[in-house]
Amino acid sequence: MATPELDRIDRKILDVLQRNARVPLTELAQEVGLSASPVSERVRRLERSGVITGYHAHVNPQALGRPLLVFVELTLSSKSGELFQKLRDELLHEPRVLECHLVSGHFDYLIKARLSAMSEYRELLAQILRKIPVPAQSNSYVVMEEIKEGLALPLDLS
Amino acid sequence: MATPELDRIDRKILDVLQRNARVPLTELAQEVGLSASPVSERVRRLERSGVITGYHAHVNPQALGRPLLVFVELTLSSKSGELFQKLRDELLHEPRVLECHLVSGHFDYLIKARLSAMSEYRELLAQILRKIPVPAQSNSYVVMEEIKEGLALPLDLS
DNA sequence: GCTGAAACTGAATAGTT
DNA sequence: AACTATTCAGTTTCAGC
């Protein structure tokens, strides 16, 4: 997990795998200009060193009946570490919550959730607030159009 | 691309592939309780029908020198369709912007970006605002702790 | 540290129930 | 619609450079 040096070939491998995690090793090898065996070793090294943290299928939310994307800004009236831990646990185990971040600024948490309908939003928010024993303030933002969504990071291929 | 029926086995397949996109077909077949060939057909069908939209390696942002995660709320003073299109194009082609959504509420756009440092944030915001010919207001939120980040959707496996 | 070949493992296809 | 057997493609290992 120590930060390893990433050379040009490693970065190219990451670039390809970010776009298509199921590309055959032989094809990946062609794209980076090596034979299959060193590429296999490099991929394994990137996995073991924690540079690649996983391979995930991306599924269309509409197909699973979750057309609603909502962001919630949450502010807690008390900011004890114990309280934050309680909320963290609740959000981690709630699969409708795709993202959750502790932020600096006008509120404490930014939460991203995919839901079936607005009725589910009210239900989810009530469920979260029920778990924390102090008043909390929330602002929600319903996404009208998804311009872009992904996790792929830019790579310098020079 | 028409919404297909997803039976119990399809949902189980999606559940497994969301967690590990590179699981061997034979292992996937075991987990869902079928032999490899029908599972292969089902996966292909899920891909062709648009339920599975891709397979992506998840890369550690720290390893690529992007320790800073920032959310930006953007409000445009004029809301013409042409202006929105111009901004959309700019954000789509900016790889440091991982997400961008048009929202309803107190601002117009919510943007998520991964950056190397605060200096890069100032530079990115200036670059974006330079492209739009009207005043815009922005609020930014720096992430202090990432509790959860993913794209995996919940699946009913019953 | 990469190449290339050989051995092995997993995937795709066709034919059967 | 799924299973089995066969064929084919992809991956891993290892000797040589």
Per the CB < 8 A criterion, the answer to whether A75 and B70 are in contact is: no
CB A47 within 8 A of CB A54: no
Q: DSSP code of B67?
A: -
Average pLDDT over every residue of B100-126? 97
The reported pLDDT for the residue numbered B24 is 98
pLDDT of residue B79: 86
What pLDDT shows up at residue A133?
85
B109 touches B102 (CB < 8 A): yes
The HSE-up count of residue B69 (CA atoms within 13 Å, CB side) is 22
Residue B4: phi and psi, rounded to 5, are: -90, 160
Q: What is the pLDDT of residues A99-112, one digit of tens each?
A: 999 999 999 999 99
Q: Comparing C-alpha atoms, which of A37, A133, A155 is closest to residue B59? A: A155
Q: Which of A57-61, A74-78, B17-21, B95-99 has the lowest mean pLDDT?
A: A74-78
Q: Which two tokens stand for residue A127?
A: 């469920």
Torsions phi, psi of B44, nearest 5?
-60, -40
Contact present, B25 and B40 (Cβ < 8 Å): yes
> Which of A28, A102, A112 is the best substitution to test chain B (most B C-beta atoms within 10 A)?
A112
Q: pLDDT tens digits, residue range B58-77? A: 999 999 999 999 999 999 99
pLDDT at residue B117, as a whole number: 98
Q: Verify whether the Cβ–Cβ distance A60 to B71 is below 8 Å.
A: no
What single letter denotes the amino acid at residue A35? Answer: S
Q: How many alpha carbons lie under 13 Å from residue A31 in its C-beta half-sphere?
A: 17
Q: What confidence score (pLDDT) does residue A1 get?
A: 62
Longest dimension (CA), chain A: 60
> Taken in order B80, A66, A94, A123, is the CA torsion positive or negative?
positive
| pTM: predicted TM-score of the whole model, two decimal places | 0.96
- Please report the pLDDT score of residue A2 as a whole number: 64
Q: Can you give the pLDDT at residue B133?
A: 85
Domains in chain B, ordered, with CATH? Answer: 8-48 (1.10.10.10), 61-142 (3.30.70.920)
Q: How many CB atoms lie within 10 A of CB A110?
A: 22
8 A C-beta contact, residue B70 and residue A103: no
**Scanning every residue of chain B, which has its alpha carbon at the shortest distance from the alpha carbon of A13?**
B57
Which member of A102, A141, A145 has the closest CB to residue B145?
Answer: A102
- Nearby residues of A150 by Cβ (< 8 Å), 6 or more positions away: B56, B98, B99
**pLDDT classification of B1: cutoffs 50, 70, 90:** low
Task: For residue A24, say whether its CB is under 7 Å from any atom of strand D.
Answer: yes
pLDDT at B38 over 90: yes
What whole-number distance in Å separates Cα of residue B82 and Cα of residue B79?
8
**Closest to B58 (Cβ–Cβ): which among A56, A109, A146?**
A56
Rounded-to-integer distance, Cα B54 and Cα B145, Å: 28
Q: What is the pLDDT of residues A58-99, one digit of tens each?
A: 999 999 999 999 999 999 998 888 998 999 999 999 999 999
Bases of chain C within 7 A of a CB of the protein: 1-5, 9-15
**Greatest Cα-to-Cα distance within chain B, rounded to the nearest angstrom:** 60
